[in-house]
A and B are shown apart, each in its own frame.
Chain A
């Protein structure tokens, strides 16, 4: 069932009477016109509705002849919607009085219940459909939708008279001009429909009364048996339901043993037209005019919808592409900005252009070089320098009574020859040099003439960190 239309018309023509109902996507269907079928206003109304349908701005729905339409409740013995879809035609074929291959078929949305899959199906011989559509066209109305009458009636019945209980047993009797439809169900669920090819509005009333008494008993008894109910609600609608006296007769004709609560729908004469309009508007109805039988306006509209969808997809894809491109450009921009800053900074440190990707390497080399080049300035700024080192060594020696016979000092090394009062003093002196940042090695070199131990001490600057 495809999407609905902004505006939909339901057309019911029978026994010289035309009812045209109009429905929007939201809201209840309203009667647009109820007039004699051969009147000018009826003709104009139908032409206008047909023109809107031809333009594709509205749907025009009619009901396929009920007597020619088979409505069945199919059940597949497995709980798989996909598998069941493959067997619906076979299951329907078993139950049809004509081959399913020769029929226009419609399968409603299936549902899984009690371990199986169930779906409603409606079928109409293609030749009957064509003949019916020809009749419609000849009358000036080429419908876009051809619904199943019993299902349309049931649908509006449940909408306008929702069952009080979810499992309430009820039935609908639609009294048409030339036939009667009895649709029965439980709660909102449709179970079956029966068509009486006679009407209380036409032909022999007594013949109808006899037919009614027999068939009604049969139908309602079966319904109560299938639903294991003892009573049901019986709703009346259709052109024939406007006459209270007629309704009373029909009710009296029902078997007394079947307990019924009787109700009548409002606006019964326009019930079918309103039902058709509502289902076409919300797209919930059957439409035998689909596939190769589809109305050209519907085909155009669907094609337009598809094109709109493709355009939407293309636009969305372009947007996504643009976003990706934007992201790529932004990333490249961020990277380029960082690279520019990196190159500039590396160049300012290295003093020359640096190849991409070698910034750290070149900068580290440049640092070594520049450290060397600027070292003399650091030396110049150093408030202490080697002068202070020299002074420290001499002070330590003097404090400990170490006599220096030779001292050599350079930025990286120290060498000392001398004599200490004793070995412990010499070792203390060596420790103080260590504490001053030298890594020293010492060796004794005999004793001085005055008996003091002599030493040779060499050290290297210890570089911290």
Chain B
């Protein structure tokens, strides 16, 4: 009799536990689903950012592979395009950017230059690797047509020296 009562008690207790567990599982299912859905939505959103900088990373990797680490000498480019003494170049301090590189600006003053020559100079600077790209320009035409004073800011990239 006592043994039967123990068995009965055990069966009832286990049944109650099973019922409670099932209830808990059922009631918590929507919350769990929502949590999982939120996590998966976050994951999907972050995945969309993957490859966001792939092109920039590829460019950097290409330069590393070809051992392109330093930009062309801007002064030499200016002499080649504008002649000696036509440009006054003032380099600025570099700023670190991604991947062990840094951005360097240079202010270029062209007190009196033909626009066509200036365009040649800018084209040569942009064609270098890494390129010097125009960041700011201020043009004050001279009385003579096709000429003026140009104040330029060019920027380029260079690998940080260890």
Contact = CB atoms under 8 A, between A and B. Distances in A.
Given A321-B14, A338-B43, A349-B46, A386 B32 contact: no
B121 to A, nearest CB: 11
Nearest to A390: B137
Nearest to A409: B137
A311 to B, nearest CB: 7
A445 interface: no
Contacts of A303: 4
A317 B19 CA distance: 8
Classify the secondary structure of B's interface with A. helix
A339 B135 contact: no
Given A386-B133, A386-B137, A410-B136, A370 B14 contact: no
A11 to B, nearest CB: 31
A345 B32 contact: no
Interface string A100-133: 0000000000000000000000000000000000
Nearest to A386: B134
Contacts of B92: none
B79 interface: no
Nearest to A410: B136
A324 B136 contact: no
Contact of B8 (A310, A317, A318, A320): A310
Contact of B141 (A317, A378, A381, A404): A404
A331 B156 CA distance: 52
Using C-beta atoms within 8 Å of the partner chain, give the interface range for chain B: 35 or more
Contacts of B52: 367, 370
B39 interface: yes
Interface string A382-420: 100111001100100000000111111111000000000
B47 A345 contact: yes
A387 B134 contact: yes
A376 interface: yes
A324 B21 contact: yes
Classify the secondary structure of A's interface with B. helix
Contacts, number: 160
Contacts of B65: none
Instruction: Find the residue from A311, A317, A408 having the highest chain B CB count within 10 A.
Output: A317
Interface in B30-47: 32, 35-36, 39-40, 42-43, 45-47
Given A381-B59, A407-B138, A409-B136, A314 B14 contact: yes
B134 A406 contact: no
B98 A374 contact: yes
Interface string A328-350: 10010011001101100110010
B15 to A, nearest CB: 5
A408 B153 CA distance: 11
Interface in B112-140: 115, 119, 122-123, 126, 130-131, 133-140
B159 interface: no
A225 B141 CA distance: 136
Interface in B1-59: 4, 7-8, 10-12, 14-15, 17-18, 21-22, 24-25, 32, 35-36, 39-40, 42-43, 45-47, 49-50, 52-53, 55-56, 59
20 contacts: A307-B4, A310-B7, A310-B10, A313-B12, A317-B15, A318-B18, A320-B22, A335-B36, A359-B42, A374-B97, A376-B101, A385-B126, A390-B137, A404-B139, A404-B141, A405-B140, A406-B139, A408-B136, A410-B136, A411-B136
The 6 closest A-B pairs by CB, nearest first: A317-B14, A377-B56, A310-B11, A317-B18, A320-B18, A373-B98
